[in-house]
Amino acid sequence: MHERVWSYVFVCGFLAVAAVETFVPLRSLRSSTPRRWLSNIGLYLSSLAAARLILQLSALALAFSMQATSRGLLNQLPLPFVVQFAVGLALVDLRAYTSHRLFHAVGLMWRVHQVHHSESELDLTTGFRFHPLETLVSQGLLLVTVVVSGPPPGAVAFNELIVVVLNLLHHANLRFPESADRVLRLVIVTPGMHRVHHSEAVPEQNANFGVVFSLWDRLFGTYRAGLTANPREARYGLAELPRGSELNAAQVLFLPFRRTPDPSPSKAECPQE
């Protein structure tokens, strides 16, 4: 049932965001859209296959198991369901913030995560552009979080559905109303906020690690309000790969293993709010 709902949300969200990107684009993209889409979707399918083959366990299934056996921190505490749900949702999202920040701070992890940042022209399929190794590590950390905290299955499922929609919006090449962005970012990570993170400028890459809630960046001092350059003129991606969006799926898969200096954003000073 959950997979069916997830599929509906994914397909409807993809089509809706793709339509807005087409008719209300933020900027004109120079790279080939078919090539970019084929490359990013190819990476996405590779990541899905790797996760299914190696982990063979979803976070939602694990959450149901933890609840049935009364294991995990939240299942041990006499808390109202609403509180369990809210805390569980927050913990799952904090895990996403933490793992994202680690992928920037640890050299070997950054070499894998740079696949995502190699996109020089953002569109909704940039949200698919993750190396299978990153997917395995992120999913593994999520499973550990579920085991330790024991969040309600509903919180895990709700988080997955929110991430599906936000992942498409965060990377989409669309004009998002600035007034709405300013209000929404008080609670959630907005497209304007996440676009800063994809800047070619290293100090800006080292900011705005949040996935759902903007609270974590504000709390841990990694929040940056906006790009230094105009969003329509800003340079995205990696300085050493100015045409990263033109790489095919095979080239991107081998990107972490190329012999180049490590450009990890962790070497830059964290931005101040």
Q: What's the pLDDT tens digit per position in 95-128?
A: 999 999 999 999 999 999 999 999 999 999 999 9
Q: Where are the alpha helices (DSSP H) in the chain?
A: 2-23, 33-54, 59-68, 73-76, 81-105, 107-117, 132-149, 153-171, 178-184, 191-197, 202-205, 215-219, 249-253
Q: Are 168 and 17 in contact (CB under 8 A)?
A: yes
Please tell me which residue, 265 or 252, carries the higher pLDDT value.
252
37: left (phi over 0), alpha (psi -120 to 50) or beta: alpha
Phi first, then psi: what are they for 70, rounded to 5°? 55, 40
- Angstrom distance (rounded) from CA 211 to CA 159: 10
Strand partners, 199: 236
Mean pLDDT for the stretch of residues 80-103: 96
This prediction's pTM: 0.87
- Angstrom distance (rounded) from CA 155 to CA 241: 39
Task: Break the chain into its structural domains and give their ranges.
Answer: 27-267
**Tell me: the pLDDT tens digits for 123-164?**
999 999 999 999 999 999 999 999 999 999 999 999 999 999
| pLDDT over threshold 50, residue 78 | yes
- Range with top average pLDDT, 40-44, 83-87, 248-252: 83-87
- Angstrom distance (rounded) from CA 75 to CA 147: 11
Characterize 133-154 residue by residue with b for buried, 16 or more Cβ atoms within 10 angstroms of its Cβ, and e for exposed. bbbbbbbeebbebbbebbbbbb
Q: Residue 29's pLDDT is what? A: 86
- Angstrom distance (rounded) from CA 100 to CA 1: 29
Q: Residue 263's pLDDT is what? A: 45
Residue that the structure tokens 């962790």 belong to: 266
| pLDDT over threshold 80, residue 54 | no
Out of 19-23, 115-119, 179-183, 237-241, which region has the weakest mean confidence (pLDDT)? 19-23
Phi first, then psi: what are they for 116, rounded to 5°? -65, -40
Residue-averaged pLDDT of the chain: 88
Would you call 241 helix, strand, or coil by DSSP? strand
Phi first, then psi: what are they for 257, rounded to 5°? -105, 5
What token pair was written down for 38? 């084929």
